[in-house]
Amino acid sequence: MTAPAMPTARATLQVNRTLVEWSPIYGRYLVAQRTTSGHSLLIEELPFAVGPKSQGGVVCLGCYSPELDECCPQCGWPLCEECSKIEDNVHKQTECRIFKEAKTRFYRIENGGQCPQLDCIMPLRVLLAKEQQPERWEKEVAPMEHHEAERRENSDIWHADCVNIAQYLRGPCKLAIRFSEELIMQVVGILEVNAFEARSTAGYPLRCLYPYTGILAHNCVPNTARSIYPSENYKIRLYAMVDLEANQQLQHSYTYTLDGTAQRQKHLLEGKYFKCRCQRCLDPSEMQTHFSSLKCGQCTEGYLLARNPTDTDTSWHCRSCDNSNSNEEVQRTLNALQAEVNGVQSLEMGAKRLEESERLLRKYKSLLHPLHYIAIGLKQLLIEMYGRVQGYEMVQLNDNHLERKSELCRDVLKVLNIFEPGLSRSRAMNLYELHVPLVLLAKSGFITSKLNGGELRARLLEAIDLLKECVEILQLEDKSSQEGVLCGVAKKALEQLTISVEGLGNELD
């Protein structure tokens, strides 16, 4: 658990196969410079600044660990024992001297509560980077959207940021001469709208500002995927998820893929200050997945779909009969179901949580489309529990449980194959989850003579194909990340399975 040194201005943008365009709708955005095949690297960029998330608890300002028993010997602000020994850690290179010279005292928050004092760290690091890299600031960071007018409308948050960050930096930190309140609030807005979340090598959350990659346009069905590498000073790499044409707009999703349209719209409006009008959002069926569709209730075949999905006052209509409902009625139903799901998710990881998730799915069969986002969320939860919780560990799963896990994986993949085509970490992880029951069922079927040698080989070859795609996607991830570790596991499983199939092929010959 070591804190990386501050990235330098040298070679901040190392690969660039994109062009910057502008429009009155998107502002600045990126397009592909040339025809590009899927999985190709488009951009490599070092962050302009790295720091703790806002509105969080006390963390080490070097490695972002919440497990602290020390403080910086120079300024007294949070720094773990290991980071305090590293001379070039990010804290010592940035805010430490400012706090020391201003004698700005840190007031420790106990019991893991929110720490408003640390909200100033990331904006301060951006301001200091502005002084160190003025050309990059003027060219890349200053033009970034910060939506001052919209943020001012939320007066409570604006006032809190003004007091906790702008006035704090200019007052107790004695930076009034160097940084105006207007500039500081501009930086706060740039971070709120554009910063990416990342994790340290030890898995602790933080955020990074990438001036170039950060201007990607949004789409709820993206054509690019990004990976952040904590072991390389938080360098970001942007890849093409699918094949791209020359001058095609590069798009990334700033929402959670497995949220319904109303949830995604709310998130984008509150956090990014725009309403999405992508193909998925405008389509009541969400590209024929029926990801937000409810059972009609008046007929056996129909589903209720929003007439205007991006309208908060939309009505809901069945396409098989004349039944209709108000948005208020639909949201009341969904809120009640989501409350039940939240109750199950709050249970301790174990057999009861798994069984309650299955109970809710059975209950919701008469209420929701099988691929509705609430159902898919429960199915994703179950995928992660089958084979891992006590009473349902992998060696304890019978064929029915294995078939169930396989069915759950295929349902989630139906959605991900449409919403995250090609290069997708979520798809890769579900491909890995799916291969396990396929292999175990194939071996069980062969042992009980339900499958002959040829059928066994065919089933194992299907699992090999899943693993190959899983590895192809995850090999682009930082090896220290959860996905990178899974890639290593998948590679070993692929090697062993390939040997088994080759041996089986020799026997059949």
Q: pLDDT per residue over 295-339, tens digit each?
A: 998 998 999 999 999 999 999 999 999 899 999 999 999 999 999
Residues 400 and 431 in one domain: no
Look at residue 224 and tell me whether its pLDDT is greater than 90: yes
- The Cα-based distances of 297 to 290, 367, 371 in angstroms read 16, 8, 17
> Element (H or E) spanning 438, and its range?
helix 425-447
Residues 38 and 178 in one domain: yes
261 in a structural domain: no
Look at residue 9 and tell me whether its pLDDT is greater than 90: no
Domain count for the chain, please give it: 3
264 in a structural domain: no
Residues 488 and 429 in one domain: yes
Residues 170 and 201 in one domain: yes
Here the tokens at position 37 are 């095949």
Evaluate if pTM is beyond 0.85.
Answer: yes
Domain boundary among 410, 435, 467: 410
448 in a structural domain: yes
34 in a structural domain: yes
Task: Give pLDDT, residue 112.
Answer: 65
Task: Give pLDDT, residue 154.
Answer: 82
List all residues 6 or more positions away from 329 whose beta carbon is below 8 Å from its beta carbon.
316
Residues 473 and 497 in one domain: yes
Start-end of H helices in 36-180: 81-84, 90-93, 95-102, 121-132, 134-136, 148-153, 155-161, 168-170
Residues 93 and 127 in one domain: yes
Mean of pLDDT values over 30-49? 95
Residues 183 and 121 in one domain: yes
Query: 242-247: long-range contacts at Cβ-Cβ below 8 A with a sequence spacing of 24 or more?
Result: 242/38, 242/421, 242/422, 242/423, 243/35, 243/36, 243/37, 243/38, 244/32, 244/35, 244/36, 244/38, 245/32, 245/35, 246/32, 246/33, 246/34, 246/35, 247/19, 247/31, 247/32
Of the CA atoms within 13 Å of residue 404, those in its CB half-sphere come to 20
Q: From CA 19, how far away is CA 226, in angstroms rounded?
A: 17
Q: Could you report the per-residue pLDDT of 435-447, keeping only the tens digit for each?
A: 999 999 999 999 9
List all residues 6 or more positions away from 199 whose beta carbon is below 8 Å from its beta carbon.
205, 206, 228, 230, 481
pLDDT band at 15 (very low <50, low <70, confident <90, very high): low
Task: Give pLDDT, residue 11.
Answer: 54
Look at residue 7 and tell me whether its pLDDT is greater than 80: no
DSSP string, 463-487: HHHHHHHHHHHHTTS-TTSHHHHHH
Here the tokens at position 90 are 């990010």
The three state secondary structure string of 180-196 is: CHHHHHHHHHHHHHHCE
Containing structural domain, residue 452: 422-509
pLDDT band at 69 (very low <50, low <70, confident <90, very high): confident
415 in a structural domain: no
Residues 461 and 314 in one domain: no
Domain boundary among 384, 410, 436: 410
CATH code, 248: 3.90.1410.10
291 in a structural domain: yes
Residues 404 and 466 in one domain: no
Residues 294 and 354 in one domain: yes
Beta bridge partners of 305: 317
Task: Give pLDDT, residue 505.
Answer: 67
351 in a structural domain: yes
Look at residue 483 and tell me whether its pLDDT is greater than 70: yes
CATH code, 496: 1.20.58
| Residue 386 near residue 206 (C-beta atoms within 8 A) | no
Domain boundary among 190, 217, 252: 252
Residues 94 and 189 in one domain: yes
Task: Give pLDDT, residue 5.
Answer: 43
Start-end of H helices in 107-257: 121-132, 134-136, 148-153, 155-161, 168-170, 181-194
Round to the nearest angstrom and report the end-to-end CA distance of the chain: 52
Task: Give pLDDT, residue 3.
Answer: 46
Look at residue 109 and tell me whether its pLDDT is greater than 80: no
Surface-to-core class of residue 366, CB atoms within 10 Å of its CB (0-12 exposed, 13-18 middle, 19+ buried): exposed
Residues 162 and 76 in one domain: yes
Strands 251-252, 217-218: pairing kind: parallel
Q: From CA 166, how far away is CA 175, in angstroms rounded?
A: 10
35 in a structural domain: yes
Of the CA atoms within 13 Å of residue 456, those in its CB half-sphere come to 21
Q: From CA 78, how far away is CA 118, in angstroms rounded?
A: 9
